[in-house]
Structure 1
Amino acid sequence: MPALKKFIFTTAELPDSAIHTLTTLSNGFISIRGVPELTETSTGTFIAGVYCDTPLFYRELVNLPRVVSLYVRLDGVPLVPSEEVFTLDALRGIVEYKAKLVARGGYLEYTGVRLVHAKRKEVVALRGKLVSRGVRGRLTLDLPVELNTCNPSVPENICVKLYRVVEKSADSQAVRVKVVSADQRYSVEFAAGAKSSRAALQAYAAGERVGFAGEVEVEDGSVVTVEKLVAASTAGEAASVLNAALNMDFNQLAASHSEEWERRWRELGLEAEGDEEFVDALYLNTFHLLQMYNSELPFFALPARGFHGHGYRGHVFWDTEIYALPFYLILKPEASRKILMYRCALLNAARYNAERNGCRGAQFPWESADDGFEATPREIPLDLRGERKVVIRTGELEHHITADVAYAVWLYHRYTGDDEFISQCGLALLIETARFWASRFEYDSSKGKYVIRRVIGPDEYHVGVDNSFYTNLLAAFNLQLAASYSRQAGDQPEGREVLSQLNVTDSEVREWERIAENVFLPRGADGVWEEFEGYLSLEDYTLPEGCIGEACVPEDVLARVEKTRLVKQADVVAGLFLLRHLFSREELSRNYEFYKRRTTHASSLSIPMYAGLAAYIGKLEEASALLRTAMLADLKNIYANTGDGFHVGSAGGAWTALLFGFLRLEENRGKLTVAPVLPPYLRRLRLTVNFRGKRYLLEVDGKRASIKELS
């Protein structure tokens, strides 16, 4: 069991919004942002997979009714919390919130504890305790389910409600409400019950609230407790779930919830010793990555900002396959399988996307929601008249995500040996994505090579470029994978059936191989892989050491950034790290040195790739500094936008850098090999590693390392 301390957050150290992200609780079905129950907010509840059509952003996660509210008045006057302290107990998956409610004669001392149950996926529980310190009077308690939540839009003062209430009721035991998404694709039921140690609570259903309210006289030293249980269901079972939960008190629910979290940590076997700040961030990121997975759902649609906020509207990007999946692959392999099952479920939509864009096969969207169609906004207005707007080209041109999905299929199969998945879906993913690339490549007779024109690589400073190194490299690898797996499939009945269903011919496989062997990858005379064709002809500009973000770039340079060699995030370096086995150490080192001086790291996805590659090529000091920054991205609000949601890519990417860069986990001829080196601030690391159906205990202590199979 890890020696997990509790994470304590105050507004003296972090903005409110960042704390609310870091204290978000989820079980992969219900997610509750860490906004205090005493504070009014438009932030409600996320239910996994419940999206709705919305202006500008195509489809986004619906901000459903708020279920954890608890409002307090004294003699009719609302009390406002101050001196707030938030505590996340990551070992047990519980958030505690403390505040003072200043009132006439003194103050009320409030302690609230909340959980989103790890096993009873439909249940949220809250317990509040009020202690009077010199306060006397009539205390009014209101525990509503609030039906006025909405999704923030642009400009910031616009909020769009994406559901409507179709039923609400109250009786002596519970309140109930049913809502449907504005597009009528989803319905969600909520049921709530509440009780108090002293106040006689009465259920009500009025206006945009259903809930419980009551009054009690207090004097100095009075203690009042309340408990609130809420059940949510997309299957019409909220009432029955609530009835079962009401047979347990808060302590019983908390005990079973905490037992499940302690079991998860034991299963993970994670123990880290070293610099306190880094170790804290390691555990914190691990907690948030773990809590978003729900084994009861058929697939795992993991948004770029998790279920922690409205950032990127709940859309799924390449962050999931390239940055987050490796974490789950090694530590929770069934979750990585369900990440890929999300793409499997939406394969037909990807086929439609490809056809709409004049290509064959399947093209996965740059931003994806619940239906698999392109969810990237084309433009975002900055004012109500639309006179100022931001044009977004990524949905049109950032195609590498299709190859990223194929890469993830290969990585998953390489480390799990899950042949059943390949037969069920993996082979189809590889084939259909290869067909997309075969139709996307063009033969350039002047080069004698296959080329891809007009794309955006990971570096989004440069738009509509030809022959992106990353895109061409991963696309060629995608074609090679499809060819190799198709040839292997021909030797097995299940594989032959898939090939037959998809009408794969030997001539098509040979075409994939021919294209893959003749893909143009731009390269400079000095051996540096050119980010895209013509990149090395651009104005050169190098950055000061340690530059993170655009603050260290002069405004005049930023104004013409697309005409310079500045890079927003790991691009060539990302491709080299992902496919490091295809390149020599000298190539990796040469390109790392070139691009590190030109990358702003303006995206949180950048530093993990640099950390991983630096560690892999032996630049331990640089790698360690980079890993630290990546791991601390949210805990220290490094990018000043943690309030928008949890950086899944940065957290997962930091783990990916640690696993494959520092620990150097590798599959080698069916065996797992390790050659670990730790950053200097990490004295000891212990964790359970999963590989091809077996579990191994890996321990690294200084320069000593051991790995043994667990029974």
Structure 2
Amino acid sequence: MTKTLMEYQQNQPWIIKENSFDNNFLSKCESVFALGNGYLGVRSAFEENYIGEKRDMFVSGTFDRFDKSEVTELPNVPDFIQMEFVINGRNLDLNLGEITQYSFSLNLKTGQLIRHFIWKFADIHLEFNFRRFVSFDDLHLLGQEVTIRNLGADTSFQLKSGIDGQLTNSGSQHFAEGTKDQEKNRILQMVSTTAQSRIDFVQSTIHDFSDRSLIDKARIEISRRQIHKLYWFHLKSNQSIKISKLSNVYTSIDRDLNQKTVEYMISVSANVLNFDVQKGFDYLLKKSALAWEEKVWRDFPIEIKSIDFTDQLALNFARYHLHIMVPKHDGRMSIAAKGLSGEGYKGHTAWDTDIFMLPYFTMTYPEIARKLLTYRYLGLSGAHKKAALNHYQGAQYPWESAWPSNGEVAPVWGAADIVTGKPTKIWSGFIEQHISSDVAFGVKQYIDATSDLRFAKFEGYEMIFDTAKFWVSRLEYNAVKDRYEINNVVGPDEYKEHVNNNAFTNYSAAWNISTAIKVYEKIKQQDSKSFDRLNKKLGLDKTYRQWKEKLPKLYLPKANKDKILPQDDSYLSKKILDLTPYLKDDAVGTLFHDYNLDQVNNMQITKQADVILLFCLFENIFSLGIQEASWDYYLPKTMHDSSLSLSTHVVLAVDLGRNSEAYQLFQKAKNIDLGPYMNSSNDGIHAASLGGIWNSVVEGFGGLRVIDGKLRIEPHLPKEWDSLDYRINWHGARLQISETKEDFTVTFLNSNHLNQIVEFMSKGQKYQVKAKGSLRIKL
């Protein structure tokens, strides 16, 4: 393992910190220290340049396609962050000279990034303090500040700072250059337009100084895709200067703009920035921190009392990142697999959102969850497009989604094949199809948890019907065995391609169809208006007959004599490989240094939770004996090469009463991004694993589940925890759940409905708690 630069302190569960500078490991901190607000996301590259850095800034939903041979991706927006300091004729470079008192930290509670150090090189002796934030109050605003104190002799400075549009997405340039100008001699502005999607961007930045009398001269500099301001100043011994830089970005797809013309955006951007600079950096930072408190931390706090303080730190870290990546401002957008923290997966949305991140928002911030599901509803047109291309009916959701109407945007080719030397084909976009039932599962869980009947009537039911319509058209009849099968698929385990009857796929398809039947029968009887509308739109009567005819004959794999549920038709007959050497490695994917995917496909090697995930989502279908035997069988064969895997195993380990093992797995899960390995997050954080941390804590150890539409609470705290305290939103009521090893208490805090009573299950018994009431249950 490489030496770690990360440092966490017992009494600071809201602070993540790098304790020293190493030019070789910039990417980890750029990702895990990323800033954002769901509209705007910025990797935390330094102000000064370094070899190996990756300057990425993204605006949600602004997808562009560089070339017809490439898939659409979020474009890397022109950079505000860079500030080039030339000091006594030398560039600021921490690879040179002596660095003391180095600290690079992110306050998860306020979203403030701070970097501090003293730099001594030749005749230079300076103290720097950088501060930065992306506003949680104003989606368009980014603030920077640097304070420089001269600890040595008189020193001269040249500062070059502005907007740099020469960045690319790993070589792909998405922007056509527009105008560059300096408004009223202070605000620098750049207009650029995405090449294919034709989205206009207006970016503005302004500099301010604590003492403008220190500025000897200044001038503007314009070059290709760049506009900068150059400032020259001197600092005498013990003299200081504070430089602030405020920036904003607007696009022609923003819904908070009254007009979409470039001229209007230029005017709005400049006017807002002029007001902001008068308010000042500290005021704007305070407003942002207050928005974090009011919108995130205040109403749904979660507290773990553990012997390991990093359990709480990891939970705070996960929630911070979930909120800086979720586009709560616009239902036309969703969460990418890397959030807004890097170019990995090109900004695309996958099933990660529906299964691993949506539960957090459904149970705490349902208004955000509804936006994420609205994205899926708007994506029905893209899902219809994909189904039609594959000669199916209904909604076949894309494996990777971008703009909701685009359809499938997964790339076709991936990493090199170690044997052939050629690119490996990515089959997920073609035959990994469980995404359709994953979307339906998220929809149903949201409806169950919120009782949002308006969403159900006008969006949710339609998605459940349309995905079930896809599945019934996808089934293949086996005349010899008189059953319907689902062949030639990839299940959640992406190391098994072109398999037949993947258990997760078949069972989730059956659940999807069964749920559609129940909803059909319910609304036909209880809501004839909605039924008639949806029947006319989707042809439900005909499809219902197909559901009823085919569902009883849909093949659902059964456990063998050893109580092991086969992952697919062929898995259990394949060669077994000892994975011990690979499981000891910190890096993922090391298996492919020795084998190619075809070879792995023919061995009992599982990339991630597959059968295990099936047990977590549909626990009532399988006996405890089957779950235990399958756990023992599949765990040694699972690489956890997907960040989705460990948290799933945590939840099932708790269900199986293996709390010690669950806690060990939780330690690994929480360290995927936050841990010591310095190359784990180079392409961005692992968004779904962060949702998985909440799932592990609340659904796993906390025992909170939605089972068959009902709330269930059955805590199983690990021995390392004294207590767990969290809040949820259930049917519009906010509940506080306080758990110890001896008991748990459910407190009804407030509700949108008068005289509401909340029911929940625990250990097979039904309980009720009334408004403003509290109920304590012994374990």
Task: Provide TM-score, normalisation by structure 1.
Answer: 0.94
Deviation at 1:612, TM superposition (A): 0.8
Superposition map of 1:81-160 within 5 A: 81=94, 83=99, 84-152=102-170, 159-160=171-172
Q: Which AA in structure 1 matches 2:304?
A: A
Which residue does 1:510 correspond to in 2?
A: 545
Which residue does 2:15 correspond to in 1?
A: 6
Deviation digits for residues 281-337 of structure 1 (CA, Å, limit 9, x no counterpart):
121111111222343223441000110011111111111111111111112222221
Which residue does 1:156 correspond to in 2?
A: none
Question: What SS does structure 1 have at the residue aligned with 2:279?
Answer: coil
Deviation digits for residues 214-243 of structure 1 (CA, Å, limit 9, x no counterpart):
111122212111001101111423223223
Q: CA contact under 8 A between 1:486 and 1:499: conserved in structure 2?
A: no
Which residue does 1:304 correspond to in 2?
A: 337
The answer to whether structure 1 residue 599 and structure 2 residue 638 are counterparts is yes
Report the Cα distance in structure 2 between the residues aligned to 1:637 and 1:364, rounded to whole angstroms.
37
Deviation at 1:701, TM superposition (A): 2.9
Deviation at 1:544, TM superposition (A): 4.5
Report the Cα distance in structure 2 between the residues aligned to 1:670 and 1:575, rounded to whole angstroms.
18
Question: What SS does structure 2 have at the residue aligned with 1:213?
Answer: strand
Q: CA contact under 8 A between 1:53 and 1:60: conserved in structure 2?
A: yes
Superposition map of 1:246-261 within 5 A: 246-261=277-292
Report the Cα distance in structure 2 between the residues aligned to 1:258 and 1:105, rounded to whole angstroms.
39
Runs of 4+ in 1 over 6 A off after TM superposition: 556-559
Question: What SS does structure 2 have at the residue aligned with 1:160?
Answer: coil
Q: CA contact under 8 A between 2:63 and 2:197: conserved in structure 1?
A: no
Q: Which of 222, 234, 244 is 1:206 aligned to?
A: 222
Question: What SS does structure 1 have at the residue aligned with 2:496?
Answer: coil
Report the Cα distance in structure 1 between the residues aligned to 2:533 and 2:305, rounded to whole angstroms.
48
Q: Which of 435, 448, 456 is 2:482 aligned to?
A: 448
Question: What SS does structure 2 have at the residue aligned with 1:244?
Answer: helix
Question: What SS does structure 1 have at the residue aligned with 2:298?
Answer: helix
Question: What SS does structure 2 have at the residue aligned with 1:99?
Answer: strand
Report the Cα distance in structure 2 between the residues aligned to 1:464 and 1:239, rounded to whole angstroms.
55
Question: What SS does structure 1 have at the residue aligned with 2:682?
Answer: helix
Q: Which of 555, 562, 567 is 1:531 aligned to?
A: 567
Report the Cα distance in structure 1 between the residues aligned to 2:358 and 2:17, rounded to whole angstroms.
29
Question: What SS does structure 2 have at the residue aligned with 1:119?
Answer: coil
Q: Which AA in structure 2 matches 1:86?
A: F
Greater Cα shift, 459-468 or 34-43: 34-43
Report the Cα distance in structure 1 between the residues aligned to 2:508 and 2:72, rounded to whole angstroms.
28
Greater Cα shift, 541-550 or 352-361: 541-550
Q: Unpaired runs of 5+ in structure 2?
A: 1-10, 253-264, 751-779
Report the Cα distance in structure 1 between the residues aligned to 2:549 and 2:28, rounded to whole angstroms.
50
Q: Which AA in structure 1 matches 2:720?
A: Y
Q: CA contact under 8 A between 2:41 and 2:324: conserved in structure 1?
A: no
Q: Which AA in structure 1 matches 2:637?
A: R
Q: Which AA in structure 2 matches 1:267?
A: D
Once the two structures are aligned, what percentage of the paired residues are identical? 26
Which residue does 2:755 correspond to in 1?
A: none
Greater Cα shift, 258-267 or 202-211: 202-211
Which residue does 1:348 correspond to in 2?
A: 381
Which residue does 1:265 correspond to in 2?
A: 297
Q: CA contact under 8 A between 2:535 and 2:541: conserved in structure 1?
A: no
Report the Cα distance in structure 1 between the residues aligned to 2:512 and 2:592, rounded to whole angstroms.
36
Which residue does 1:477 correspond to in 2?
A: 511
Residues 449, 587 of structure 1: alpha-carbon distance in 2 compared, 3 angstrom cutoff = same
Q: Which AA in structure 2 matches 1:593?
A: D
Residues 90, 240 of structure 1: alpha-carbon distance in 2 compared, 3 angstrom cutoff = same
CA RMSD in angstroms comes to 2.4
The answer to whether structure 1 residue 241 and structure 2 residue 259 are counterparts is no
Deviation at 1:398, TM superposition (A): 0.7
Residues 42, 558 of structure 1: alpha-carbon distance in 2 compared, 3 angstrom cutoff = closer
Q: Which of 166, 176, 179 is 1:164 aligned to?
A: 176
The answer to whether structure 1 residue 47 and structure 2 residue 59 are counterparts is yes
Q: CA contact under 8 A between 2:702 and 2:724: conserved in structure 1?
A: no
Deviation digits for residues 557-601 of structure 1 (CA, Å, limit 9, x no counterpart):
988322111111111111111111222222222222221121111
Q: CA contact under 8 A between 2:218 and 2:231: conserved in structure 1?
A: yes
Q: Unpaired runs of 5+ in structure 1?
A: 153-158
Q: CA contact under 8 A between 1:630 and 1:650: conserved in structure 2?
A: yes
Report the Cα distance in structure 2 between the residues aligned to 1:190 and 1:505, rounded to whole angstroms.
49
Deviation at 1:112, TM superposition (A): 0.6
Q: CA contact under 8 A between 2:563 and 2:625: conserved in structure 1?
A: no
Q: CA contact under 8 A between 1:540 and 1:566: conserved in structure 2?
A: yes
Question: What SS does structure 2 have at the residue aligned with 1:587?
Answer: helix
Q: CA contact under 8 A between 2:448 and 2:710: conserved in structure 1?
A: no
Which residue does 1:499 correspond to in 2?
A: 534
Q: Which of 391, 395, 398 is 1:362 aligned to?
A: 395
Question: What SS does structure 1 have at the residue aligned with 2:439?
Answer: helix
Deviation digits for residues 338-369 of structure 1 (CA, Å, limit 9, x no counterpart):
11111111211110110011111111111111
Q: CA contact under 8 A between 2:726 and 2:738: conserved in structure 1?
A: yes
Greater Cα shift, 304-313 or 263-272: 263-272
Deviation at 1:75, TM superposition (A): 3.3
Report the Cα distance in structure 2 between the residues aligned to 1:342 and 1:253, rounded to whole angstroms.
31
Q: Which AA in structure 2 matches 1:7?
A: I
Deviation at 1:543, TM superposition (A): 4.3
Residues 641, 44 of structure 1: alpha-carbon distance in 2 compared, 3 angstrom cutoff = same
Deviation digits for residues 78-130 of structure 1 (CA, Å, limit 9, x no counterpart):
22135453111111111001234444323221111111100111111111111
Which residue does 2:5 correspond to in 1?
A: none
The answer to whether structure 1 residue 223 and structure 2 residue 245 are counterparts is no
Deviation at 1:638, TM superposition (A): 5.1
Residues 273, 300 of structure 1: alpha-carbon distance in 2 compared, 3 angstrom cutoff = farther
Q: Which of 299, 316, 321 is 1:288 aligned to?
A: 321
Report the Cα distance in structure 2 between the residues aligned to 1:668 and 1:309, rounded to whole angstroms.
36
Deviation at 1:506, TM superposition (A): 2.9
Deviation at 1:52, TM superposition (A): 0.7
The answer to whether structure 1 residue 460 and structure 2 residue 460 are counterparts is no
Q: Which AA in structure 2 matches 1:47?
A: V
Which residue does 2:432 correspond to in 1?
A: 398
Deviation at 1:18, TM superposition (A): 0.6
* Number of residue equivalences: 702
Q: Which of 447, 451, 468 is 1:417 aligned to?
A: 451
Q: CA contact under 8 A between 2:303 and 2:312: conserved in structure 1?
A: no
Deviation at 1:473, TM superposition (A): 0.9
Deviation at 1:639, TM superposition (A): 9.0
Report the Cα distance in structure 2 between the residues aligned to 1:299 and 1:617, rounded to whole angstroms.
40
Superposition map of 1:158-197 within 5 A: 159-171=171-183, 172-197=185-210
Q: CA contact under 8 A between 1:442 and 1:451: conserved in structure 2?
A: yes
Q: Which AA in structure 2 matches 1:312?
A: Y
Residues 553, 239 of structure 1: alpha-carbon distance in 2 compared, 3 angstrom cutoff = closer
Which residue does 2:555 correspond to in 1?
A: 520
Which residue does 2:354 correspond to in 1?
A: 321
Question: What SS does structure 2 have at the residue aligned with 1:360?
Answer: coil
Greater Cα shift, 170-179 or 654-663: 654-663
Q: CA contact under 8 A between 1:188 and 1:233: conserved in structure 2?
A: yes
Which residue does 2:773 correspond to in 1?
A: none
Report the Cα distance in structure 2 between the residues aligned to 1:537 and 1:247, rounded to whole angstroms.
71
Q: CA contact under 8 A between 2:66 and 2:173: conserved in structure 1?
A: no
Q: CA contact under 8 A between 1:108 and 1:135: conserved in structure 2?
A: no
Q: Which AA in structure 1 matches 2:749?
A: L
The answer to whether structure 1 residue 377 and structure 2 residue 411 are counterparts is yes
Report the Cα distance in structure 1 between the residues aligned to 2:542 and 2:749, rounded to whole angstroms.
46
Question: What SS does structure 2 have at the residue aligned with 1:436?
Answer: helix
Q: Which AA in structure 1 matches 2:299?
A: E
Deviation at 1:416, TM superposition (A): 1.2
Report the Cα distance in structure 1 between the residues aligned to 2:14 and 2:25, rounded to whole angstroms.
22
Residues 494, 220 of structure 1: alpha-carbon distance in 2 compared, 3 angstrom cutoff = farther
Deviation at 1:259, TM superposition (A): 1.1
Report the Cα distance in structure 2 between the residues aligned to 1:497 and 1:465, rounded to whole angstroms.
39
Report the Cα distance in structure 2 between the residues aligned to 1:31 and 1:454, rounded to whole angstroms.
38
Q: Which AA in structure 1 matches 2:605?
A: L
